[in-house]
Amino acid sequence: MLIAGNWKMHGSRGMAADMLEAVNRTLQKASSDAVEVAVFPPATLLSFCKERAQPPLMLGGQDCHSENTGAYTGDVSADMLKEAGASYCLVGHSERRQYHGEHDAQIQGKANAAHEAGLKPLICIGETEAQQAAGQTQAILKKQIQGAVPSAFTPADFVLAYEPVWAIGTGKVATPEQIAETHHFIQQQLPEGATILYGGSVKPDNIAEILALEPVHGVLVGGASLKAESFCKMITLAMEANNRD
Ligand code: PGA
């Protein structure tokens, strides 16, 4: 099980120091080999976080370029993220797709670059509200998986995050039935044993119900990962959910 906190374009050294101290403390109290925790700060805070993150807490980048080096002003490569302390890298987050026009082939290139750099890509997929209303959810997800997940990847090479775009930052959460059905569908499109996370308005008051769904292997959390209290509460609830299994 993986609990991932995506800070997006939030955070400062002060916030990061407080957050990492709180997460380290939570993991020392109730660590479990079966629950991994990773935070995804802005790239400028990775080295700072690396100095503070105590095992088993892991770090990830929020995006990478598909090339290792080059004339790409403003971009960051997977090698650079790795050197700064990352073990994971998000690719294809809906905000990258929406605001930077990223498409599946590009995202696949990023996933390969992350893998080659020794990072585990966390590949995000999800349908928009209009696509869901038009009954296109499964067709869209299938297309995104075929386009963005490198076909040579084994289940150990990546993590997939299903995040309905209409649930991100909106407070609208997919129902347990929707999540279970969609995760089963996604499972059928991936090599057996792949890790599939759910994301979209996950909070302390709904995480237990989501993690109890059999095809859900963790969560990708945005807003609720920015406050140490709610993120640590979610880590504790995930540990408890895992101990009950
Ligand atoms: P949210 O974001 O938890 O704030 O909805 C999730 C994400 O974008 O990964």
The per-residue pLDDT for range 46-58, each reduced to its tens digit, is: 999 999 999 999 9
How many Cβ atoms are within 10 Å of 135's Cβ, its own excluded?
A: 8
Residues with catalytic annotation? Answer: 93, 163
Ligand 1 and 199: CB distance under 6 A: yes
Percent of the chain with pLDDT over 70: 99
- In the structure, what pLDDT confidence band is assigned to residue 69 with cuts at 50, 70 and 90? very high
Ligand 1 and 62: CB distance under 6 A: no
- The CA-atom distances, in angstroms, between 31 and each of 26, 169, 218, 229 are 8, 29, 16, 17
Residue 32 pLDDT greater than 80, yes or no: no
- In the structure, what pLDDT confidence band is assigned to residue 171 with cuts at 50, 70 and 90? confident
- The CA-atom distances, in angstroms, between 137 and each of 73, 85, 169, 183 are 35, 36, 19, 12
Query: In the 3-class helix/strand/coil scheme, how is the chain assigned residue by residue?
Result: CEEEEECCCCCCHHHHHHHHHHHHHHHHHCCCCCCEEEEECCHHHHHHHHHHCCCCCEEEECCCECCCCCCCCCCCEHHHHHHHCCCEEEECCHHHHHHHCCCHHHHHHHHHHHHHCCCEEEEEECCCHHHHHCCCHHHHHHHHHHHHCCCCCCHHHCEEEECCHHHCCCCCCCCHHHHHHHHHHHHHHCCCCCEEEEECCCCCCCHHHHHCCCCCCEEEECHHHCCHHHHHHHHHHHHHHHHHC
- The CA-atom distances, in angstroms, between 128 and each of 114, 123, 165, 167 are 26, 17, 5, 9
Residue 118 pLDDT greater than 80, yes or no: yes
Ligand 1 and 163: CB distance under 6 A: yes
Ligand 1 and 218: CB distance under 6 A: no
Ligand 1 mean position to 10 CA, how many Å? 13
Ligand 1 mean position to 70 CA, how many Å? 31
How confident is the model at residue 34, as a pLDDT?
Answer: 84
pLDDT tens per residue across span 74-101: 999 999 999 999 999 999 999 999 999 9
Percent of the chain with pLDDT over 90: 92
pTM (global) more than 0.75: yes
| Cα 20 from Cα 152, distance rounded (Å) | 35
How confident is the model at residue 59, as a pLDDT?
Answer: 98
Ligand 1 mean position to 140 CA, how many Å? 20
Q: Quote the mean pLDDT of the chain.
A: 96
